[in-house]
Amino acid sequence: MAASPRIAFTGPSSIPAKFASPRRSLLLQSFSPAVGRGLLSRSSVLSSGFKSDGAAYISGVRTHVAAVEQAVTVEAQKMEAPVVIITGASRGIGKAIALTLGKAGCKVLVNYARSSKEAEEVSKEIEAFGGQAITFGGDVSKEADVESMIKTAVDAWGTVDILVNNAGITRDTLLMRMKKTQWQEVIDLNLTGVFLCTQAAAKIMLKKKKGRIINIASVVGLVGNAGQANYSAAKAGVIGFTKTVAKEYASRNINVNAVAPGFIASDMTAKLGEDFEKKILEIIPLGRYGQPEEIAGLVEFLALNPASSYITGQVLTIDGGMVMRKETVLDRGYCLISERFRLGAFLIDCVARAFSVTYLFGYFVIFRNWSPKYRPDASSCFISLFHGSPAVFLAVAAILNQPVRGFASPNTNFQNLVLDFSIGYFTVDLLHYLILIPGDYLFIAHHLATLFVFVTCRYLVVHGAFSILVLLVLAEVTSACQNVWTLAGLRKADLPIAARIHKNLSPPFYGLYTIMRGFIGPVFFYKMSAYYLSGKASNVIPIWVSAAWIVVVGGAILVSIMWISNLWMQFFKDENVEKKDS
């Protein structure tokens, strides 16, 4: 849908028949005849009084008339350039709209809430095109800020011709976890802000009997979306609001329409996990994200093109064909969740079966001649050998292959695979303790807490795998050494070679363990805890989940430090005893 290059704001009364005459021509026609008649009549009087050099003088007067006419035309164009207010115009769709309308010759007020630097850059870009722009920092959910914003535009340019309600926020989470503040913040800005801005701007438009209002809604206002009850409700409200206001203001020549974008390329979509992005693109017939400039082109058509003057009260979806499918985003959301559980459960089942077979093989074959007292621990160490080092290599690879790494980044397919692998292992090892060593409460509690962290990260919040996998690497990098050390320790009393291995392996194992869990682990834990407790991740990882992670990880690190400290003290004690004996 191509947008018009015209710069003049036009209502239905100013549309030429069959759109035959360009708007620029109309401007010239409306201003040049009166100027021409007055100056040319004056020139005829002058020429009759000075006949001796009349031809030369008349030529000079005509040159002067042309210059004045050109100056008047330029001023007329400046006066007629539409004044546009765009809320939330410092980045994303709002920025694209501001730049597009600025290039088209509009005078643009760039509203922002916090991104003052970005708003100034948008304003400078518009001025670089030869346009006019000013910035205004204000919260459109506050009536005083809205009134001040409208006054700023009127003081600068005398009127408001076009309003684009674009400002919006998200506070996504499932309804059962949504706090009232998360609900209210979205409703206040995304819906109440539209009401306040429209009411304030309409007061000016009603007096002129001319205006255009474009509200940026969303396809989720039409079809809903899991995890966006607040956002969907606000955008559905904007759609209903648009239709009502369009009916109220139609008689005053004010057009009110809504644009409902689908998935548009942005910083947010760039951070989506690759598995989720793939599923999203599958439900978009065009197979790609939309671009902010495409939204801006539609807004320009509705705001400036004379052909849009007969359009009002409409919701124009620009979504690559997404909502025309019978399967909605909500349906796909449920499919994604169920598919995630099915595939995860299948993988965990396979891993658990493999570790169970490995455990039984160790118990009944490899360690069949060991004392019944040691066989369970030995078999546990045996399956740990097949989990620890592989988990480290897989986790490191998954972290390095993550496009955007952060404490609240969405999980990738690879990261989920590693989590499923570890869930399968810890499930089997937990069963080992529950069945064969039910009195080992510390390890049972450790495994239950670890499984809680892995399962919530993998299946509940689907974010934060970066944090969990880094901790997994720090915990398991010593696994191979620790398991060999443990197996040797079980037989050191009756096998001299086992005693030598245990003794020689103790210092390097203790040292590596101390570095990982006594120094690097606590530093990473501190950074992770500070990030989660700041609330920066609360939109994707609920506070109760991140707080539970902090308690579990902090407790595990504390126990590890106490355990390795006791081993070091015992080691030095044994060394002193040997020295005395020698």
User: Known binding site: residues?
Assistant: 88-91, 166, 231-235, 264
Q: What's the alpha-carbon Rg for the chain, to the nearest Å?
A: 36
Say which DSSP state 16 is in: P
Distance CA 140, CA 199 (A): 12
Distance CA 296, CA 104 (A): 11
Distance CA 259, CA 301 (A): 11
Residue with tokens 């397919």, as numbered in its chain: 413
231 is catalytic: yes
- The token pair that represents 532 in the structure block: 């989660």
CA distances from 483 to 132, 386, 403, 431, 496 (A): 71, 11, 34, 19, 18
- Positions at the binding site for NADP(+): 88-91, 166, 231-235, 264
What is the per-residue burial (b if ≥16 Cβ within 10 Å, else e) of 459-474? Answer: bebbbbbbbbbbbbbb
- The token pair that represents 544 in the structure block: 């109760």
Q: How far is CA 284 from the centre of its chain?
A: 19
The active-site residue, picked from 231, 363, 433, 531, is 231
| Contact indicator for 197, 87 with CB cutoff of 8 Å | yes
How many other CB atoms sit within 10 Å of the CB of residue 432? Answer: 22
Give the SS3 label for residue 134.
Answer: strand
Q: In degrees rounded to 5, what are phi and psi of residue 216?
A: -90, 105
Distance CA 85, CA 138 (A): 13
Distance CA 380, CA 384 (A): 6
CA distances from 65 to 38, 71, 292 (A): 10, 10, 45
Strand 211-216 relative to strand 254-261, pairing: parallel
| Contact indicator for 315, 345 with CB cutoff of 8 Å | no
- The token pair that represents 399 in the structure block: 């972290």
| Contact indicator for 458, 347 with CB cutoff of 8 Å | no
User: What is the edge-to-edge ordering of all strands in the sheet holding 107-112?
Assistant: 132-137, 107-112, 83-86, 162-165, 211-216, 254-261, 315-318
Identity at 205, one-letter amino acid code: M
Catalytic residues: 231
